[in-house]
Structure 1
Amino acid sequence: MNIRLVPREEFDKQLYDSCVHYATNGNIYGYHWFLNATTDDWDVLVEDNWSSVMPLPKTKNWLGRTRLEQPRLISDLAVYSVNVLSPKRVQAFWDAIPKEYRSGNLTVEPASAPKVSNRFTVEAATGTALTLNRPYEQIIEDFSPGYHEGLVRAEMARLRPASSFKPERLADLWLQVNGKTAENEWRYHAMQRIMYQVLHRGWGGTQAVQDDKGEILAMVFLAYSHHRIFPLFTVETAEGKSVGALTYLWDNVLKSHAGKELKVRREEILV
């Protein structure tokens, strides 16, 4: 197994993205355009003929020392591989990280966590997959009473689905709800870069809920990749929370996707 480091400015984007796309553990966060929108600097470890890759997002501290750092807006990365992702292969990648990476932390999907992390803090992403290839009634049969209470509030408030909107509309509402800070301003622009990348590829779009006066109460931007639904960005107003707007929105998503070979992280729906 030959693993080498390739700087971002030198690697082949097509070969890299192809590996992420066809990887048995692929996800949307690994594509080069997603990483470029969330971090200023990253390299990649490559196995042989780009059959396995591992992105290494990095920063430098005030002493000039390089460290791994989890990018904002990315929940988990991975050792992406079209081969069997054995513990031996995973450990080989972590052991191949150059010594110049002195420390750092990274959150990865569970199969990509090493047995020995040495100088790094590695967290395995958590969550439970909710499969949608069933009737709607079966999907929600074990949901909490709070979920159903939210649907009752939404019905009483006469909520209804709204048309799809441009990324700016969701980002504006998100910033309005969360407030203007330096961090939120960065997220505001990064969110739009990512959403337009997804729209360009035809991989997703916005879902929204409005009240009987046409006021938007909740929005979510859904991306579809690797037979999964990724709710990348979600926002709900204070009024929306009081009438179960986000619950109503997700219930509509589940109804329209029931019976399809898709899954979503359960914890992102039952908030």
Structure 2
Amino acid sequence: MLRHIRHAEINRPQWDALIHQAPNGLIYALTWYLDSVSPGWEALVREEDGRYVAGLPLPVQRKFGLRYLRQPLFAQQLGLFSLAPPAAADWQQVARLLGRFRFITQYAFNTGNAELLGVGQPGLAGVPFTTYYLSLRPPYEQLLAGYKPNRRWRLNQARRRGLRVEPTTDIDLMVQIFAENTAPKIYGVIGEAYEYRILRALYARAHQEGLATMWQVRGASGEVLAMGLLFRFRQHLTYIFNCSTRAGKEAGAISVLLDEVLRAHAGQDLLFDFEAPEVPNVAHFYSSFGPAPAPYLAIAANRLPWPVRQLKAARTALYRRLRPRPAAGENNQG
């Protein structure tokens, strides 16, 4: 039976062993990763013979005395990780235990929790989101043949500009490029006190564990035009973060970067996760590399008292009015 345990009760070695062994284990669910993106996280766990055999991370937040769930930044998918396929009774327990939270801004299950899609499970209705997965087992020539014709044409145009891709470890430059070129277009970015601090911490630990690689694209004159950060965990290679200058977007630098990453890992037993956001232009760009759509379920709940719901609705309406709208094509990465 699954039970809810607080942060201090979590057996960290047992938890990490579960994530390493579960067929759907993801880097997002390792203890050190959750510590960075959701300090004080809690969990639902099931134990058998003194070890964890199933677990679901709970990114608990607290505000005005309210405990609620919010999907963490830099952790696209959480959900249930289990050594054996979950039974209907497991999902009933998940629904009951999650139902104790009166407010869930969003909680995303993982692509391995496919039984939640379609007809779904009682008490766990939500909205399907989509990322894109590309198997890197085929040789590069086969991967390239899977690109859409327009993507191959754009790559050829970009290569004529003399762009070159190389590894790097300069997380400070990545943050700087993002802060100068992308952050001003996103409402609510805090910066070094939040997003950049978490990104730096994740990179530092992942690099220490040998799970991080970073690439950069230089122009013909040597300037860095774009950068990409990837985390590798088991057979999963996740495109976790990227940035580009205006000149980089005009030159198609991200296209060249992604193509080089796929070339470098072609023929390996890896699944490349584009970690696509729910942004049509970006999703269209990623899909041009020939991946398969990978759906997962995200749920939300608001069982707050009526006055509190009204207050939050008013704040949301104000946010939407103040939030700047991106210009046409702004999210197109080339």
TM-score with structure 1 setting the length? 0.89
SS at match of 2:93: helix
Give the aligned partner of residue 198 of structure 2. 190
Matches within 5 A, 1:80-95: 80-95=81-96
Alignment partner of 1:252 is 2:256: no
Alignment partner of 1:106 is 2:103: no
Q: 1:122 deviation in Å? A: 4.0
Q: 1:124 deviation in Å? A: 4.4
Give the aligned partner of residue 238 of structure 1. 246
Tell me, yes or no, if the aligned pair for 2:183 and 2:189 is still in contact at 8 Å. Answer: no
Alignment partner of 1:204 is 2:212: yes
Give the aligned partner of residue 134 of structure 1. 138
Q: 1:14 deviation in Å? A: 0.9
CA 258–15 in structure 1, closer or farther in 2 if over 3 Å, else same: same
Structure 1: how far apart are the matches of 2:89 and 2:133? 26
SS at match of 1:202: coil
Higher relative contact order (CA 8 A, sep 6+): 2
SS at match of 1:35: helix
CA 267–106 in structure 1, closer or farther in 2 if over 3 Å, else same: closer
Alignment partner of 1:263 is 2:271: yes
CA 220–136 in structure 1, closer or farther in 2 if over 3 Å, else same: same
Q: 1:253 deviation in Å? A: 1.0
Structure 2: how far apart are the matches of 1:148 and 1:164? 26
Mind listing any 5+ residue stretches in structure 2 that lack a counterpart?
Answer: 277-285, 289-332
Structure 1: how far apart are the matches of 2:88 and 2:145? 36
Tell me, yes or no, if the aligned pair for 1:107 and 1:123 is still in contact at 8 Å. Answer: no
Q: 1:239 deviation in Å? A: 0.6
Q: 1:128 deviation in Å? A: 3.4
Give the aligned partner of residue 313 of structure 2. none
Structure 1: how far apart are the matches of 2:127 and 2:20? 23
Count of aligned residue pairs for this structure pair: 266
Tell me, yes or no, if the aligned pair for 1:23 and 1:82 is still in contact at 8 Å. Answer: yes
Q: 1:95 deviation in Å? A: 2.1
Matches within 5 A, 1:111-190: 111-112=112-113, 113=116, 115-117=121-123, 122-179=126-183, 182-185=189-192, 186-190=194-198
CA 261–66 in structure 1, closer or farther in 2 if over 3 Å, else same: same
- The C-alpha deviation readout for 1:103-137, integer Å capped at 9, x for no partner, is 3130111443361236xx64444233211100112
Percentage identity across paired residues of the two chains: 23
Tell me, yes or no, if the aligned pair for 1:164 and 1:206 is still in contact at 8 Å. Answer: yes
| Worse overlay, 107-116 or 132-141 | 107-116
CA 250–142 in structure 1, closer or farther in 2 if over 3 Å, else same: same
SS at match of 1:128: strand
Tell me, yes or no, if the aligned pair for 2:133 and 2:271 is still in contact at 8 Å. Answer: yes
Structure 2: how far apart are the matches of 1:182 and 1:156? 35
SS at match of 1:66: strand
Structure 2: how far apart are the matches of 1:11 and 1:4? 11
Give the aligned partner of residue 54 of structure 1. 56
CA 174–87 in structure 1, closer or farther in 2 if over 3 Å, else same: farther
Q: 1:42 deviation in Å? A: 1.9
Q: 1:45 deviation in Å? A: 0.8
SS at match of 1:126: strand
Tell me, yes or no, if the aligned pair for 1:208 and 1:216 is still in contact at 8 Å. Answer: yes
Structure 1: how far apart are the matches of 2:182 and 2:11? 38
The letter of the residue matching 2:165 is P
Mind listing any 5+ residue stretches in structure 1 that lack a counterpart?
Answer: none
Structure 1: how far apart are the matches of 2:7 and 2:219? 46
TM-score with structure 2 setting the length? 0.73
CA 135–202 in structure 1, closer or farther in 2 if over 3 Å, else same: same
Tell me, yes or no, if the aligned pair for 1:76 and 1:125 is still in contact at 8 Å. Answer: no
**CA-based RMSD:** 2.1
